[in-house]
Amino acid sequence: MIGALFNHRTRGFRTINLVGMALLIAMALTVNLAKTYAGRERSQIDRIDRRIVAEQQRIRLLQAEVAHLEQPNRLEKLSRETLGMAPTTSKQEVSVAALPQAAGQPVEPVRIATAVVASPEPKADEPKAEEPKAPEPEPAKPVEGVKR
């Protein structure tokens, strides 16, 4: 049987040699293709990795910038100067239990507009009657009663 395997010829070439050659070429091609494919994949991975690293560095920079901008002293200065804010005091706080008592207190009415006597159409160059203004916030203080 082994002898037949070696003796069999195809167009003058030993079949075993042809099969071996075909296998050899197939394997060489496979390895070559695999290497090429892997090289391409690797360069793509490297490119993406570099981009990730660059993005990570950028994120780190942005984090540092955020931390820098959120410095407590800077925020406090901005809050005081631009928003007029200040730490809350005991007068600005009320407990839940004390809410009904605070709600029951009569509140002094706040004047929101000056009464204007009805008059004929104002002239073009005359200033118009003052628009009603929104009540200005006032600091909470104990109210003695409504003035009648």
**Which residues contact other proteins by CB under 8 A?**
2-3, 6, 16, 20, 23-24, 27-28, 30-31, 34-35, 37-39, 42, 45-46, 48-50, 52-54, 57-58, 60-61, 63-68, 70-73, 75-76, 87-90, 93, 95
What's the rounded Cα separation, in Å, for the pair 38 and 32? 10
Q: Which is nearer to other proteins, 73 or 82 (CB)?
A: 73
Strand, helix or coil for residue 84: coil
Q: How far is the CB of 118 from other proteins (least distance, A)?
A: 51
Q: Which is nearer to other proteins, 64 or 112 (CB)?
A: 64
Q: Which is nearer to other proteins, 76 or 108 (CB)?
A: 76
Q: How far is the CB of 104 from other proteins (least distance, A)?
A: 20
Q: Which is nearer to other proteins, 38 or 140 (CB)?
A: 38
Contacts of 4 (CB under 8 A, 6+ apart): none
Q: Which is nearer to other proteins, 6 or 133 (CB)?
A: 6
Q: How far is the CB of 120 from other proteins (least distance, A)?
A: 57
* Closest-CA residue to 94 (of 104, 109, 84): 104
Q: In the beta sheet, which residues pair with residue 9?
A: 14
What's the rounded Cα separation, in Å, for the pair 112 and 132? 6
Q: Which long-range contacts (CB under 8 A, 24 or more apart) does 66-71 make?
A: none
